[in-house]
Amino acid sequence: MYSKLEQRKVPANIPKLDSGVIKLPKTVELASLFASMTPYFDPEVKPKDDFMNLKLQEGLLALLHIDKRFAPTLFDFNEPWKIDIMEFMNENYMYEFTMEEMAHYTGRSLATFKRDFKKISDLTPEKWLIRKRLEVAYAKMKEGGKKVVDVYAEVGFKNPSHFSTAFKKQYGISPTAAFV
């Protein structure tokens, strides 16, 4: 589909749209597009793929007629959508995401996620998560006076025995003995 629309070459100096919400003006093209799609809002009607491809092309052309900056924004295939891995990991360490889910949520394949992670850490993502969870738990118990039963699940461990084993391996002492 892009190759058909690519014929409408846009000069290279046209900037991308600023990110955010864009209020589209009322145009005949958009009104026609939405009017032609109303029958498909009926759950009994299943549109054919070739018609949906035409509607998609019609919508893209309508956007390009409204503002040429849609072209470099919609058709930029150079930079894949990726978010900062460490920022994501630091904000979500306590959740039970699989590696595949973390890769997906950061805009990467699993292989790319592992390769990108290796560039920023000497640990595997799994080991990084365990270390992060232990460091946060340690701080909560030491500074917050919390007990093992209060923190193990809060930082992402499934059970207290797994937490205690990992804690002892990391710090050389059991969590209950560490803060007596």
pLDDT digits (tens, 9 = 90+) for 51-77: 888 888 899 889 888 988 888 777 765
What is the predicted pLDDT for the residue at 18?
Answer: 76
**pLDDT interval class at 9 (50, 70, 90):** low
**Residues 6 or more apart in contact with residue 63 via CB below 8 angstroms:** 24, 70, 74
> d(Cα 157, Cα 133) in Å, to the nearest integer?
8
Give residue 7's pLDDT band: very low, low, confident or very high (50, 70, 90): very low
Number of residues written out for the chain = 180
| pLDDT at residue 47, rounded to an integer | 84
Structural domains of the chain ordered from first start = 2-74 (no CATH), 80-173 (1.10.10.60)
Question: In whole angstroms, what separates CA 162 from the centre of its chain?
Answer: 29
149 touches 160 (CB < 8 A)? yes
For the chain, the average pLDDT equals: 86
Which pair of tokens denotes residue 34? Answer: 């939405």
- Tell me if 29 sits within 8 A of 61, measured CB to CB: yes
pLDDT of the residue at 117: 95
d(CA 123, CA 151): 23
Give which of 154, 153, 141 is closest to 180, Cα–Cα. 141
Q: How far apart are CA 60 and CA 62, in angstroms?
A: 5
Whole-model pTM: value is: 0.56
Are 120 and 157 in contact by the 8 Å Cβ rule? The answer is: no
- CA-wise closest residue to 124 among 116, 112, 114, 134: 114
